[in-house]
Chain A
């Protein structure tokens, strides 16, 4: 290990975050033909290593000859202080190289509140923040992941974005990079070349003009041959796509410390607040046979004591029974835990969960999202009160005593009657428990009600809707708090200031780049970490850049407005989103599209899923 790096590891907490050398991590020879790629997760090791996408890309790229993918994470605050004090560049986990020695650094954008960490990482790596300040001597900075569907707030920072599932497109990008590098790397030529690859968006090749009111007047390619619309990429067949079989086993106790098998992508439920439900369409399943085979290889290669399946709405998986049966039969006697998250809690699921959890009954989680049927219909959450009541009755009867309920505050059309509904549901759950004969229930009921604040997201039917103002959200939280004073009920809520910032960046445009840089200069980082979040510094930054954050978070947009992400094509049409938004106002449900096509548009040119 590099001596200077070794010295600083004595000075930080949890040094195992930084040492590398984990089982299944790659050690590769670096020569002049090697493209050095850095997969950067703009949060700490424990968070980044829990992310399945990172493992997929890491293993995919490292199986290629002449490409070496190393990992980069945001150093925790103590490490950052040491790096700055001793003037040491942020380094990769694999070889402890300064990150500016890499050819390409790819950031994954999982949540808006990690943007300031991107700037911090670049700065700690002595890399200029703006794309325009970097040339061939600096790494090419790219980004992908769900937040890349509205890339505009990072348009000044990132050289180009990769939209959609990147297993194929990333390899095309690396091929293009290699070709250009052989002729002598020229950043401008590279950008012009990669913009021809489907799924690649190069923001500097486009000109944005604004109206006097701050909305977008026009968004035009600077040359005719640049694509007008940039279409996301998808993998057509999950049974044949690359899947990492030898995933890194971290030393540190990370957030999701277990083997993961992805069983499908996409979701057909169509909840109107949910971005994942729209941007990951169409649904594509991996056969259970294939999933079981992967599980076996993963467990053999990692030695993990737990396996989890990963997807959006797990209960929708067509071979769920076969798969979970298979996992239980094979692994429970080997003392390998099986976890099946995101289940709809019908009686079938409860039986499954009971079998998996055997004696120890951990908490059950329900997400009705809204307190009344009216609002649940408006957001198209296809759950009825009866579903919750039945599930909870069953669960208490089977010996559960801990229940978590998730809701959102500030959903479009919400009134105080809907908030009363949340409190009523909580109390009903308590009543159900006490109505079960004492000898049939487990002692010590604990009901936890959590509310998050609704953040309108691009490419959802609510993309035009305003977010509630911070003080409105606080009033609603306080109101609910006063209604939930009960010995068995705990009420948790998210800080509405962070939700506000999230809303600004979720639907932001290019003008936010300056604010982001200003906030970084004022020390903003780890905005998603409550104790690190500096709300006042952010507000100062908006003010100094003469940007009104309410314009982004709290403004009602019209259907005719050009939205900052309109040049991105996720497959779901704007027309469909408008129709869904209108249906929300009329509290009309849209059924699961497995039961019949709803014309969202994904089957026009994105063939491969259920459609």
Chain B
């Protein structure tokens, strides 16, 4: 690797470390950036990623006409090559507050929303007691908002996903004890 490229790579690594990014993926041409923050991430990333995108774009030698399209920073949950996926799909609760808890899994593929509308309060929060059949969230699929009901009664001890996050069939949404 050329010295210049190595320097840019170092800067990138420092940037990622400084912002607590645990995982990072990138495509070229029609730039798509995928990030996973260590721990629970905010619904809307606080930082402005367009700057990062142009910095990365500038580095890629020979990448002609990088699309002006802003990078999509999607908290990484789409399974595939990354190990993140396996954890998300695993039905067994890990050690911690969710040990032995019942996992509510998504019955459909779509986009998870914690609240009925963008400015409303979420259906449920960590610590809430919920009953069997209570609406916990919405998973939007093909423009239809599907209310997901709990199949268990108890206390919400973990929320696995964030609003706007894509979820697959069987993906863990909540842990209830």
The answer on A and B forming one complex is no
Which residues of chain A have a CB within 8 Å of any CB of chain B? none
Q: Which B positions have Cβ atoms within 8 angstroms of A?
A: none
